Structure 1
């Protein structure tokens, strides 16, 4: 457990970041730097003198430098990014700019306080492994997908981010760790994730829409297991300089079967509806977590049924307010 640290979190108002803040804020001083393109932290009702929130953009170099230099972090968690299929497809230039230039901006901003740094944790994506990732390890080749498909600007930008972090590790000794999350879900999720949308619609008894025929395969990882993986990456010395897949292979299911499971478990009146898919997609995404298990002791604990019901109860409470 981290205690007495100064923690900078870019993109900390989002789903994963705000959940992590809830866990860390009691014993650490936290600065969230976020443009609030997504806001999950408002649902957390965090009231602590240890938390400061700055509304700022990762592309605003001068303002970013000012905040970093004033705060002088010991731990940095870099979550700021453009993400989500629909958002990425509509905004490929912004995706590349924020995810690549923004990452460079942050690494440069940290240079004056680099000797203080104890950990720099970067969030990449499982999409770097391409459209077909079956029990993929951290050593598998990252995928440079066909040019012209806006969907892949996200994965390409995240591969670039991984190279940037490793370059700063090798050149300047930044104590970096890179996480590749595999389909994280749970209470507080915002954005475009399938399980998030399915559960919300189940609460509202609205049609659950599946793009295509629903045979895409995903491994779903509950947010508490993700946070556990993050904490191990932040506290284990052997994590420095490494990349880790964080996910739950036991939560593997087709998108169609996921929708059916949600309907069955929740008793919703929502109907499953299939609609045309007008974008390229990841067809298979299952991680190998052997490295995280052996090096860090990571072991996901929340099964898919339990995670769905925890999420359903949370969304039901929120949507009925």
Structure 2
């Protein structure tokens, strides 16, 4: 476990970034750099931790990024545009933020020097529409130009190439993580499992876009955090990319909706709506490399993760209810 270090988390107010801050803050100095377009940090006790410092800034502002990296030991680069609806609304901004922002972060880190590790978050979307047991070295597949969804994958793939190039050319110790469908409490923005849980707790119809046959492997956020820490600590992770997911928690979208209903004893019905964008039909990772190099294996099974996620949203919904008259 890393201790007594200064750790910069770009996008640290987001879902995974704020979870990382929660785990690392008790024994380290944490700097969060974020524009707070999404804010999971407000729901975390770590927001008031004495070891936490917040910088409100734009990852596309090189001067601000250069200032943020001063004196840090480790960097976790989570900042970026994500979420299919968000990406499709502004593909130009998606590419600008994800590519320019990543360049700014890596160049600033290289100029600073002495940084022990930069962990960059990519995406499983780089494997394209059909990805079964995909390995890190498999060819990345990007959809047709002009389809807005793929701008996210393209921009993240560019980040991957840039991160590894900075290691090979400038000896900046980088590692790339490709997350596969991470979920859990305090998730902000878009996410099928989060939405299904919230709808099930309210006994509302669970909405599925398309026919629900799309296959996903669902990974609980605690496992994602643990994998990130291993990438920070293990010298063998430098210059490498890793699939991080849970290949044992595989469900179709329709199957996931039914599992959520059953586990939460919900009265929700399932409602199908037309697909609003091109979709990923199959996405299951091969995580052998992460197990071999990092000794990582996901521990949280799907039903356990659903219960933990639902408990958080159940408490949140209860706190949002107006007090009854005495």
Shared fold (TM-score, shorter chain, > 0.5)? yes
The residue number in structure 2 matching 1:44 is 44
Aligned-partner Cα distance in 2 for 1:235–1:137: 22
The residue number in structure 1 matching 2:324 is none
Deviations 1:51-104 (A, max 9, x none): 0011111012222222323xx211000000000000000010000000001101
Matching residue within 276, 285, 288 for 2:286: 288
Structure 1 segments of 4+ aligned residues over 6 angstroms from their partners: none
The residue number in structure 1 matching 2:199 is 201
The residue number in structure 1 matching 2:131 is 133
The residue number in structure 2 matching 1:179 is 177
| Partner secondary structure for residue 149 of structure 1 | coil
Deviations 1:181-232 (A, max 9, x none): 0000011111111001111111222221000100000000011111111111
When the two chains are superposed, the root-mean-square deviation of aligned CA atoms in Å is 0.9
The residue number in structure 1 matching 2:59 is 58
Q: How far apart are residue 144 of structure 1 and its match?
A: 2.6
| Partner secondary structure for residue 158 of structure 1 | helix
Which ranges of structure 1 fall in alignment gaps of 5 or more residues? Answer: none
The residue number in structure 1 matching 2:251 is 253
Q: How far apart are residue 113 of structure 1 and its match?
A: 1.7
Aligned-partner Cα distance in 2 for 1:307–1:66: 38
Aligned-partner Cα distance in 1 for 2:308–2:30: 27
| Partner secondary structure for residue 31 of structure 1 | strand
Deviations 1:125-170 (A, max 9, x none): 0000110000000010011321010000000000000011011101
Deviations 1:211-264 (A, max 9, x none): 010000000001111111111111111111100000000010000010011011
Describe how 1:138-177 pairs up with structure 2 within 5 A.
Answer: 138-177=136-175
| Partner secondary structure for residue 25 of structure 1 | helix
The residue number in structure 1 matching 2:2 is 2
Matching residue within 310, 313, 321 for 1:312: 310
Aligned-partner Cα distance in 2 for 1:62–1:163: 23
Give TM-score scaled by structure 2 length. 0.96
| Partner secondary structure for residue 186 of structure 2 | coil
Describe how 1:14-93 pairs up with structure 2 within 5 A.
Answer: 14-46=14-46, 47-69=48-70, 72-93=71-92
Aligned-partner Cα distance in 2 for 1:67–1:123: 18
Q: How far apart are residue 291 of structure 1 and its match?
A: 0.3
Which ranges of structure 2 fall in alignment gaps of 5 or more residues? Answer: 320-326
